[in-house]
Chain A
């Protein structure tokens, strides 16, 4: 437990007033229309959604996870965080295509890319999944806050789970995405400087750069500062095969849509940017900040290692960054540090409250329940949806221990066999909604078999995660490729309209010719 001085409480109260006030100021803008409540009117310069991307991906559980991989693997662990490099390619490919589609959500994009019954099935399924996923993330992150408050103040977990989320809900319910993104802007800046300060302070406490290097040498652990210290091509705890698979997944994933769960939060930032250029830069710079933030965290966690080497319990070393920050920061700065932690927590909670409400409002209520709804009704529906997500997140948070294992499995299902279909739907005109749907179903079955059932009956060995990825990718392709080729292509006029809007990269020549024939685009067929 820690002790707060009056100065610490002042930092915290000042910050809470600043943050909720900042969100509430935008009440009038948020209530103007559905586009304002969910996309800030599509008029933001790149640096506002860019900082929001960074703030959203800095949650209370993120330093716990980064501490785990850096303490275990040294600077090699940075490559675990490099999956966000999908934005390196996405910024110039899929963000450009998605921004031009103008779709509010990934689910809505499905009904522009595909047509007919298949498109509606996909939109309905994805909006339901999207709402559920955001509720789950809210519960997960809120419970991390509950545990942190328990560690810091000895409070029961439910206090940290519920109270901060209720404060966030004040400005998300009133101002929608305007409140989210404007609060994110100041939260992101505060959190970045706090992380830099606390991490550098941690390095200083551990003896400074030279002291840490010499202590690592004395411990025989100098390899921890080598980010390329591989254990073999296929063997050991850090094989080259894992590294190559991760780079392959991350970078090529940027050509697709939905290749990472972070894609969905980024999609809202892409769409709220005022131009295609702003959309590209928002996710490029947001991710650049995220990756450099990881570098500061990594340095502090290496510093923690030399102070406390040999910890074998993951639950203990996963608190490395929090411990070096809270146990060593100067008196009077504790409140500032905690305010920064509150900042990263609020930004994540607010994002997922509003993003989950997009699916419930735009894709379910507006599209399927009340297509003729007025803007006023849609904003009201957005607020109701936000409240539903908030309540649902409390329930998930309180039962999280039991369901986490199942839901991590569900997320893994999304990542492996669906990785290639998520790219194909962007780059290949012939890929259709039935192919995509069959990929979902096939991937579900194969994941159960490969990850759990067959190893449990000793029919196959337990495969390392990177091999599971390749096996699931190939097996699923044996289903969706035949299904795609044996079912009719999407309606060509529908695809031509999509092509004219988005100008996708890849194999689209027949559709380009159709768009030219219909006069939707000008130019010569090449």
Chain B
């Protein structure tokens, strides 16, 4: 049985076929990601003016970025490895579509 490591109740180990589904880990990434962007952008602008709140926001942005990647990277790796097994077959279909040869 696979050891499903968790971090704050979120999974960090995936079987490739499980990773195909959309799960709460994806939703956490979707929420954290724009927050990280906003914190980095605003934090850096204020930090250039040596404002303390700029430093705090920028560091929070870096923290959010690290957390985001720590959480989603194992899943993206699993999705990628599973998909690559089928990519050649899918590329062949794509060429059939562009050449009007797909028979449905």
Binding site for B on A (CB under 8 A): 75, 78, 81-82, 85, 88-89, 91-93, 96, 100, 102-103, 108, 111-112, 115, 199-200, 203, 209-210, 212-213, 225, 227, 250-251, 254, 275-278, 280-281, 284, 287-288, 291-292, 294-296, 298-299, 302, 362, 366-367, 371-372, 491, 493-494, 497, 501, 503, 505, 522-523
> A523–B49 contact, CB under 8 A?
no
Q: Are A78 and B41 in contact (CB under 8 A)?
A: yes
The 9 closest A-B pairs by CB, nearest first: A275-B80, A88-B34, A277-B76, A295-B44, A88-B33, A295-B45, A299-B48, A291-B41, A371-B99
> Considering only CB atoms, which chain B residue lies closest to A370 in the complex?
B99
Q: Are B37 and A210 in contact (CB under 8 A)?
A: no
Chain A residues lying within 8 Å of B59, measured Cβ to Cβ, are none
B46 at interface by CB-CB < 8 Å = yes
Q: Specify which chain A residues have a CB less than 8 angstroms from the CB of B45 in the assembled complex.
A: 75, 78, 227, 294-295, 298-299
CB atoms of A371 and B40 under 8 A apart? no
Contact (Cβ within 8 A) A213 B49:
yes
Q: Secondary structure at chain B's binding surface: helix, strand, loop or mixed?
A: helix
Q: List 29 A-B contacts (CB under 8 A).
A: A75-B46, A78-B41, A88-B30, A88-B34, A89-B33, A92-B72, A102-B91, A112-B94, A203-B48, A209-B48, A209-B50, A225-B51, A227-B46, A275-B83, A275-B84, A276-B76, A276-B79, A277-B73, A288-B37, A288-B40, A291-B41, A292-B40, A292-B44, A302-B49, A367-B98, A372-B99, A491-B104, A503-B21, A523-B17
Q: How far is the CB of B89 from chain A (nearest CB, A)?
A: 10
Question: Given A276-B79, A276-B83, A292-B40, A92–B33 Cβ distance below 8 Å?
Answer: yes
| CB-nearest residue of chain B to A373 | B99
A522, closest chain B residue (CB): B17
- A381 CB to closest chain B CB (Å) equals 13
Complex alpha-carbon distance, A76 and B29, angstroms: 26
Partner of A100, one of B42, B50, B83: B83
A295 touches B37 (CB 8 A): no
The chain A residue sitting closest to B50, CB to CB, is: A209
Kindly list chain A residues whose C-beta atoms are within 8 Å of the C-beta of B44.
292, 295-296
Please pick, from A81, A85, A200, A295, the residue contacting B34 in the complex, using a CB distance under 8 A: A85
Given the contacts A78-B41, A92-B26, A501-B90, A493 and B33 also touching, CB distance less than 8 Å: no
Complex-state Cα separation, A32 to B93, whole angstroms: 21
> In this complex, what residue of A is CB-closest to B81?
A275
Determine whether the beta carbon of A88 is less than 8 Å from that of B99. no
The verdict on A200 contacting B30 (CB below 8 Å), with A88-B37, A523-B17 known, is no
Residues of A within 8 A of B38 (CB): 82, 85
B100 CB-CB contact with A under 8 Å? yes
Is the CB–CB distance between A82 and B37 below 8 Å?
Answer: yes
A203 to B33: give the CA distance in the assembly, Å.
30
B34-A280 in contact (CB<8A): no
Asked if B55 is at the interface of the complex by the 8 Å CB criterion, the answer is no
Residue of A nearest to B18 (CB): A523
Kindly state whether residue B97 has any CB partner on chain A within 8 Å: yes
Task: A100-B90, A281-B76 given; name 19 further pairs at CB < 8 Å.
Answer: A82-B41, A85-B38, A88-B33, A88-B34, A88-B36, A93-B30, A108-B98, A112-B94, A115-B104, A203-B48, A210-B50, A280-B72, A287-B37, A288-B37, A292-B41, A295-B44, A299-B49, A501-B86, A503-B20
Residues of B within 8 A of A111 (CB): 97
Q: Which residue of B lies closest to A491 (CB)?
A: B104
* A371 CB contacts on chain B under 8 angstroms: 98-100
In the docked arrangement, what's the CA distance between A275 and B85, Å? 11
Does residue B22 face the partner (Cβ distance < 8 Å to A)?
A: yes
Residue pair B98, A493 in contact (C-beta under 8 Å): no
Residue of A nearest to B89 (CB): A501
